[in-house]
Amino acid sequence: MTYLDTLKHPVIRRLSLIQFISYFGTWFSQVAIFSMIVAFGADEITIALTATMAMLPAVILAPLIGLIIDKIDFKKLMGILLLVEISMTLGFIFINSLDYVWVLMILIFIRSSAASMLFSAEMALFPKLVSGEMLKNTNEIHSVIWSLCYALGMAVGGVVTYYVGFDMAFIIDASLYTIAVLLLIGLKLSIEKISHTESNFQMLKSGFKYLRSQKKILHLILLHASIGLTSFDALITLLADFQYKTYIAVPLAIGWMNATRALGLMIGPFIISNIISKQNLHYFFVLQGLAIMLWSLLEYNFYFALVGLFVTGFFITTLWSYTYLLIQEETNPKYMGRVISYNDMFFMLSNVTTALFIGYASKWGLSLEGITFTLGLGFIVVAGYYVWFKKRYIDVHEA
């Protein structure tokens, strides 16, 4: 089954279009946010904390997000969340100095809360619509759309921010979210609703109890969370500010670096998707680690670093989508929303930890090349962890 065959499903097709528009808008304004705080004179910790605010909601709101997803109609929930994202994005316009960076962080936190809930709701919805090869393709299409939007959004966002400024970038972003809302109105969604007779507290308790009893799912969640080691927003911003701004303007550097990595994110699945399996997954973790180490060696030169970033992005999308698929396949549909939200919680916790590590390690004097190399080593450790997991939960079962 090809990606085109999967996109013939009317719900998958429309949701994919909505995803494309909203994701493009998110990354489009991301360049403006980081360029803005750099222009205001933000230090390493402020940059790291700003990156963290975009990831924190999925960590601290996971139980609530899972409960909402399992109880509220998807289309209604999606509409509300997109409206929240529009409102918060327009709020960025009123930030004009570092004195209001705490307001910026609150706005980012609220917008990211809506985005996290929307993402988890979509990933919980897909297994209810499709299964098997189609579900695998749907996850990969979702990843490719994310990567394509990351590339286009960062590249176009960098250019637009450079030429027309931060505020216009935020207005354009809000307009894109508005288009996504209009497309949502025409979404025809018909799925069997799972009736929940438990109270909210009982649902929270039963969801946590179910997850705790599923050791295999817990290990898969940890494996998926390891992809958070590729959360490079703070690192790329610091490289643009500290090492490359004498060669290229910061907004353009941030945009082109992220866009180049995203090209790898987008192209990789078309080559790797048919090769990766439960039996060889650990090799791809090793390749991811080696790619990041290569990037660290090339960071001394902006243009060589772009090559390293492309290679770094090549494996990320497939690792993300495949480990997500393994979790979806193992989860009881009754608990899907809650398990998915807990999974996103661990994934974002890994992202937050990575962002804070980058900020504080730089503040304490570790070179950006050394920080990058350390992140690469992390994937070598994860490969060893998967080898242990495979022997205990996959090889024995399949034998």
pLDDT in tens, 314-347: 998 889 889 988 998 888 877 877 788 788 788 8
Q: Among candidates 116, 125, 110, which has minimal Cα distance to 73?
A: 125
Q: Among candidates 80, 360, 72, which has minimal Cα distance to 235?
A: 360
Min mean pLDDT across 56-60, 90-94, 272-276 is at 56-60
Average model confidence (pLDDT) across the chain:
85
pLDDT at position 205, please?
78
d(CA 130, CA 12): 9
pLDDT in tens, 114-133: 887 887 788 778 887 888 78
pLDDT at position 306, please?
93
pLDDT at position 338, please?
78
Min mean pLDDT across 37-46, 305-314, 334-343, 370-379 is at 334-343
Answer yes or no: is pLDDT of 158 > 70: yes
pLDDT at position 308, please?
93
Any residues with CB less than 8 A from the CB of 213 and at least 6 apart, and which? none
Percent of the chain with pLDDT over 70: 94
d(CA 236, CA 228): 15
Answer yes or no: is pLDDT of 144 > 90: no
Interior/surface letters 244-279, b for 16+ CB within 10 angstroms, e for the rest: beeebebbbbbbbbbbbbbbbbbbbbeebbeebeee
Which range is most confident: 1-10, 139-148, 183-192? 1-10
Which pLDDT band, with edges at 50, 70 and 90, does 107 fall under?
A: very high
Mean predicted confidence (pLDDT) in 125-145? 81
State the pTM of this model.
0.73
Percent of the chain with pLDDT over 90: 24
Domains of the chain: 3-189+200-398 (1.20.1250.20)
d(CA 148, CA 3): 15
For the chain, how are helix, strand and coil distributed in percent, rounded to 5?
A: 85, 0, 15
Answer yes or no: is pLDDT of 150 > 80: no
Neighbours of 301 (CB within 10 A): 13
Please report where in the chains the tokens 């970038």 appear, as a residue. Answer: 169
Answer yes or no: is pLDDT of 68 > 70: yes
Amino acid at 225: A
pLDDT at position 399, please?
41
Answer yes or no: is pLDDT of 190 > 70: no
Which range is most confident: 31-40, 58-67, 296-305? 296-305
Tokens of 105: 């962080």
Tell me if 308 sits within 8 A of 299, measured CB to CB: yes
Any residues with CB less than 8 A from the CB of 262 and at least 6 apart, and which? 147, 148, 150, 151, 152, 154, 313
Q: Among candidates 173, 171, 170, 154, which has minimal Cα distance to 251?
A: 154
